[in-house]
Amino acid sequence: MAAEINVTPLVDVMLVLLIVFMITAPLLTTGVEVSLPKASAENLRAPQSQPLSVSLDSSGAIYIQETRVNPEELVSTLYAIAGEGYEERIFLRADEGVNYGQVMNVMTRMQRAGYRNIALVTDPQAEESR
């Protein structure tokens, strides 16, 4: 007499759990109001070479390193620097008074130019004084 495992009850339970998770997962992710926390993070180790940085000042002007660039020319200028893609970290520095939409617009343009490893720069002294 060979011992056999009856897997039918196990399959039934797994299908019920799958259906429950399929129904509840979308409800947990949509329509949730988010208030982002203010927290300090550990500083990243600086790379050995000078990293490329894009800055957005309080008036909305865009700079690559210290050179001012028109928003329409940002993608082509960054693409000329990167070629087919730039795997090194690129820093985005934005004034705290700049509109969030402007920051996202610049970040989207950086991604369109082939940059995938974008880091947002903050001031660590501001976090320590709180």
Run of H or E residues at 128: helix 124-128
pLDDT at 39: 47
Burial call 53-90: b when 16+ CB within 10 Å, e when fewer? bbbbeeeeebebeeeebeeeebbebbbeebeeebeebb
Please name which of 115, 64, 109 lies closest in space to residue 85, comparing C-alpha atoms: 115
Structural domain boundaries of the chain?
A: 52-128
Q: 86 pLDDT band (50/70/90 cuts)?
A: low
Residue 117, phi then psi, degrees to nearest 5: -115, 75
Q: 13 pLDDT band (50/70/90 cuts)?
A: very high
Mean pLDDT score of the chain, rounded to an integer? 76
For domain 52-128, the CATH class is alpha beta
Instruction: Work out the average pLDDT over 5-11.
Output: 88
Regarding pTM above 0.85, the answer is no
